[in-house]
Structure 1
Amino acid sequence: MKNYTLIVIIMIITFSFSGYGQQAKVNSGDKKYNNYAYVDAIKTYEKVAEKGFKSEEMFKKLGNSYYFNSDFERAAKWYGELFAMNASIEPEYYYRYAQSLKSTGDINKANKLLNEFNEKSKNDHRGKLYKEDVNYLDQIKANSGRYKIEDAGVNSKYSDYGAFVYKDKLYFASARDTGNFSQRKHKWTGEYFTNIYNADLDPESGSATKVNKFRSAINTKFHEASPVFTKDGKTVYFTRNNYINGKKGKNAEKTTLIKIYRASLDTNNKWTNIQELPFNSDNYSVGHPALSPDEKTLYFASDMPGSIGQSDLYKVSINNNDGFGTPENLGTVINTEGKETFPFVTNENEIYFASDGHPGLGGLDVFVANIDDNGTISNIQNVGADVNSPKDDFAYSIDPVSRRGYFSSNKDGGQGSDDIYKFLETRRLKCTQILYGVITDAETGVILPDTRVTLFDSDMSLKKTTISDSSGNYSFAVECGKTYSVRAEKADYNTKELRVTIDKTNGKTNLPIGLDKSICKVTVGDDLGKCFAIKMIYFDLDKSNIRTEAALDLEKILDVLNNYPTMKLDIRSHTDSRATHQYNDALSDRRAKSTIQWLVKNGVAANRLSGKGYGERQLVNRCSDGVQCTEEEHQANRRSEFIITAL
């Protein structure tokens, strides 16, 4: 017994020392993390985690270290460990975990977390945007398939990003300059600092060759990126670490942030007079400049005081004396609590930007919005899955004439951590909307999942069919300004069909549908079609063959006939009063017979069916020849009847 007690004491002491040792390593990792040395922090934290040590704070920082370096798959792993320990944590982690899960392809779990994020952070724009657009994937799908994308031809195994075209040269940032023994790496990413490079460019194909380092005083031993030149080539704006005249600036936490600088081209073709812009600060970042087409406004990203999120988009006027106005936040329509960055403005009053706050595929996605005449932002759309991916996609630029351009991404299949891709936009972005709604029981309000929902155009041509999800939701991507019909069908409910006209601007149209319980008990002489709200069997104009959507209705009649083997039907086809009596008689008779033929072909005995076309001889309203009526009134006369003659 004494020996057993001694062994237990030794084990307790051993585990205690082990625990203290692991905690000491965690503390070491925390110091690296707090100094933004995320790559080094990861190495320390993961060694501790491999020993079985678990800590909510460590898992948060480990997940964050990967998240801030856009390694979302590994971030998802450690956020998963965090949530396994405690699901009641700060709302921001719900958002980061959701974004990370999108990168792994687990969209359903990501959307579930976004719902929880919205509940826990009621005032966060990102949650509201998701809740208002739960069918955002339909919008992305509708906007996809519009690009031909290729490697830009300038990529290395290091980070390459932020392309800008000027005078048949492609300018971009790259971390490929490993330099000599003393060349330093950035602690955040573990990569070398970036400099600006350029490459010769074929203006027709967009292909780049002969990559050269931009030989000028603009490049230093710290980060330079995102150059944008004025049209005359005499001024360049660019992003750089807080570094000028050989000195590195730091904020109160002793961190070197980024600023926008401006340089001028002198008569000897050298870049001189390098100055930081007056609204820079040591205490916040300002970067990624973009010029308006008239070069009177500079757009940029910043987390300056007054920002909504981690970085917002701003604009500032450029005065005639080369001074600047007061920076203006672009507002809550475009900016979220997340990151909005890398703006690019075209002469078509469009602004492209990258965001992880608007609903997307994961990481940063590229979006486009309109800049209205009064300067406000509207109609934000995801550009689609060709450009966007579950990883970071950003720094989009396009020539509005040739529709050629570039974007940067760390998507799978690239050569380095970030790569530059060239593209040709083969189809312009259409004005689209999401038509959506919830299917419910009209009386009780109970949601009705697994309801068949069919979309028809204004001519009743079948466009799409879907099934409502477990929450009764359905959605379709539709074109602006067009009229559609939506039909909802579910067993034990009457079929319902609604007509809707879509607005002429991008957005969403809500069309909830309440279905009535089917309580129809038929007898001889009743119209079986009324039980299923079948107004007519649709045919193409002047034709009598059964269309696809008509077959959907006939399948309901077929099902009843199969369940009641002694039932007999008289099928009657009617038209409106337009066209001649003789024409309408003949056309309606052919349609009645075509309906019978379809049922016989699908197994109904011919002796159970009869039918005739009545043309315009049995109108249900006043709309006879010569009487002016609305289209809806004429429609009431164009009907199909299925009269029960025997049971």
Structure 2
Amino acid sequence: NQTKMFDEKKLDINDEKYSSFGAVLTDDNNFYFTSARNTARKTYGANEQPYLDMYMATYNADGSFSEPTPISDINTKWHDGPAAVTADGNTMYFSGESFKESKQFERDKDNNLKLGQIYLFKATKTDGKWGNIQPLPLNDKTYSTGNPAISADGKTLYFVSNRPGGQGGNDIWKVEVKGNNTYGEPQNLGDKVNTPGNDNFPYLTTEGKLYFSSDGRKGFGALDIFVIDLAKGTEAKNVGLPVNSGQDDFAFSFNDSKEIGFFSSNRTGVDQLYSATPICGVEAIVMVRDANTGKPLASAKVAILDERNNVIETRTADTNGKVTYSVDCDRAYTIQASMSGYENNSFPIAKTHGGEVNVMADLRPIVEIVKEIEVVLNDIFFEFDKSNITKEAAFELDKLVEAMNNNPEMVIMVKAHTDNRGSAQYNMNLSNKRAKATVQYVISKGIA
């Protein structure tokens, strides 16, 4: 079962009857989204809702929103939105219709129709007003180019297009932003992201995670939201319930500084806006390997212990020597790895506030601790004034058991000692008890 990544909540800013989607929150607390709520506009034949406009509201410190207002500097009589806004809040890339531009459509003579496309436009803000609206040179009247996202440094523009050279359907592309509305050569993001289906609504976080929607991957039905870490080259991951549902779930964005995300869904029958609050969790990825060769140790035993050294769970490594644990944020853990023929060992996991932790559990072959006249172990400690074997001592003594199983002719002499508290005779008796307890533990593991 996938660990729950987010809690979701439907926003009060929605209009229950009319579509709202494509929300983006900037660091200056401006909340941009696209909606069909302007009933003064003519309706669009496909769904009988008014044409789309872009809106802006203020995101308040308590998580509420001001009354949304249309962005009159941007909106036209055609569909407008959704948008992406640069980190400084002064440049907007947004989707619009090609009909805005002269003769940017094709004719369907048989049905007497003008066939337009989705185009990308750019606007800049001066003295609080949006202006200098320009179409991007990436547009072409034979295919769509829209649904933008911009990198944190403003140097890479992501967009969606069904242009030639893709994987099929709508694909996500990227292009270098060179300035003055000039751009490099568009690059398809490839099959790590795109599928033969439709891949859409990209959003890139400041940490380099790309959220996008796809109907070409295994999911809950229709469009699902996925995330991929472009910096690490990981595989795309379904963000799971409750963000995804059996309906269309799309247009996920995330503000890293405010630790809040937003997405859109038609699960209630019409596109609506939702918040996505991350659930703090850590994914501990353990790789068990031969310390000398780096070879994965399949079927190794991997236990995870809490801060009191209590074993929470033990799992078996897969064919790649991998075990994954989902653990709590801001808590320390210990990994204990063991494998027949190897010296078992412990590996700490420091307190971490979310994300992934990679633990390289490299185990030495057991022959390395067997010397000519001794078996080299770490110090084994007993509790004060006691001779019972602790969990930590047992883990260390298991190395000796493994060494003796590999060397049946081996004979071991065990010595124990105490500190200088207590009389000499008392300490001698305690030392003997500890030595005998050690021997009994080894015998209990099948060593005769």
Q: TM-score by structure 1 length?
A: 0.47
Partner of residue 540, structure 1: 391
Partner SS for 1:225 = strand
- Kept after mapping to 1: 8 A contact 2:6/2:278: yes
Q: Distance in 2 between matches of 1:454 and 1:462?
A: 13
Deviations 1:160-213 (CA, angstroms, capped at 9, x unpaired): 110122433311111222336xx22242x45333211222320x2332131222
Partner of residue 118, structure 2: 258
- For structure 1, the residue ranges without an aligned partner over 5 or more in a row are 1-137, 436-452, 467-474, 488-496, 510-537, 544-574, 589-612, 619-636
- Kept after mapping to 2: 8 A contact 1:296/1:319: yes
Give me the identity figure in percent: 29
Match of 2:65 among 208, 217, 226: 208
Partner SS for 1:173 = strand
Partner of residue 297, structure 2: none
**Superposition deviation, residue 406 in structure 1:** 1.4
Matches within 5 A, 1:494-509: none
Whichever residue aligns with residue 409 of structure 1, its letter is: S
1:175 paired with 2:36, answer: yes
1:390 paired with 2:246, answer: yes
Whichever residue aligns with residue 141 of structure 2, its letter is: D
Report the more deviating stretch, 156-165 or 387-396: 387-396
Change (3 A) 1:500 1:388: farther
Match of 1:302 among 158, 161, 175: 161
- Kept after mapping to 1: 8 A contact 2:282/2:356: no
Change (3 A) 1:367 1:251: farther
Partner SS for 1:295 = coil
Partner of residue 15, structure 1: none
- Kept after mapping to 1: 8 A contact 2:283/2:324: no
Q: Distance in 2 between matches of 1:426 and 1:465?
A: 24
Whichever residue aligns with residue 191 of structure 1, its letter is: Q
Q: Distance in 1 between matches of 2:438 and 2:250?
A: 62
Whichever residue aligns with residue 200 of structure 2, its letter is: T
1:461 paired with 2:285, answer: no
- Kept after mapping to 1: 8 A contact 2:145/2:162: yes
Partner of residue 404, structure 1: 260
Change (3 A) 1:296 1:614: closer
Q: Distance in 1 between matches of 2:52 and 2:343?
A: 57
Deviations 1:579-616 (CA, angstroms, capped at 9, x unpaired): 5597697469xxxxxxxxxxxxxxxxxxxxxxxx7742
Partner of residue 171, structure 2: 312
- For structure 2, the residue ranges without an aligned partner over 5 or more in a row are 289-299, 317-321, 328-332, 348-354, 361-388, 395-411, 418-427
Partner of residue 222, structure 1: 78
Partner SS for 2:67 = strand
Partner of residue 616, structure 1: 439
Deviations 1:613-634 (CA, angstroms, capped at 9, x unpaired): 774279xxxxxxxxxxxxxxxx
Partner SS for 2:236 = strand
**Superposition deviation, residue 231 in structure 1:** 4.2
1:198 paired with 2:73, answer: no
Whichever residue aligns with residue 360 of structure 1, its letter is: G
Q: Distance in 2 between matches of 1:576 and 1:178?
A: 90
1:162 paired with 2:22, answer: yes
Deviations 1:275-303 (CA, angstroms, capped at 9, x unpaired): 32111111211111111111111111111
Whichever residue aligns with residue 199 of structure 2, its letter is: E
- Kept after mapping to 2: 8 A contact 1:301/1:313: yes
Richer in helix (by share): 1
- Larger RCO (alpha carbons 8 Å, 6+ apart): 2
Change (3 A) 1:305 1:430: same
Q: Distance in 2 between matches of 1:576 and 1:368?
A: 57
Deviations 1:525-547 (CA, angstroms, capped at 9, x unpaired): xxxxxxxxxxxxx973469xxxx
Whichever residue aligns with residue 640 of structure 1, its letter is: K
Q: Distance in 2 between matches of 1:336 and 1:245?
A: 31
Deviations 1:258-283 (CA, angstroms, capped at 9, x unpaired): 1111124466x554443321111112
**Superposition deviation, residue 479 in structure 1:** 6.1
Structure number with bigger Rg: 1
Change (3 A) 1:328 1:195: same
Partner SS for 1:478 = strand
Deviations 1:566-585 (CA, angstroms, capped at 9, x unpaired): xxxxxxxxx99475597697
Matches within 5 A, 1:339-350: 339-350=198-209
- Kept after mapping to 2: 8 A contact 1:576/1:638: no
Change (3 A) 1:185 1:364: same
Whichever residue aligns with residue 278 of structure 2, its letter is: E
Partner SS for 1:243 = helix
- Kept after mapping to 2: 8 A contact 1:334/1:377: no
Q: Distance in 1 between matches of 2:159 and 2:239?
A: 20
Whichever residue aligns with residue 259 of structure 1, its letter is: Y
Match of 2:325 among 478, 489, 499: 478
Richer in strand (by share): 2
Whichever residue aligns with residue 358 of structure 1, its letter is: R
Task: Tell me how many residue pairs correspond in the alignment.
Answer: 362
- Kept after mapping to 2: 8 A contact 1:343/1:395: yes
Partner of residue 238, structure 1: 94
Q: Distance in 2 between matches of 1:271 and 1:196?
A: 12
Change (3 A) 1:501 1:346: farther
**Superposition deviation, residue 359 in structure 1:** 3.4
Q: Distance in 1 between matches of 2:287 and 2:224?
A: 19
Report the more deviating stretch, 288-297 or 347-356: 347-356
- Kept after mapping to 2: 8 A contact 1:242/1:250: no
- Kept after mapping to 2: 8 A contact 1:364/1:392: yes
Q: Distance in 2 between matches of 1:433 and 1:329?
A: 33
Partner SS for 1:172 = strand
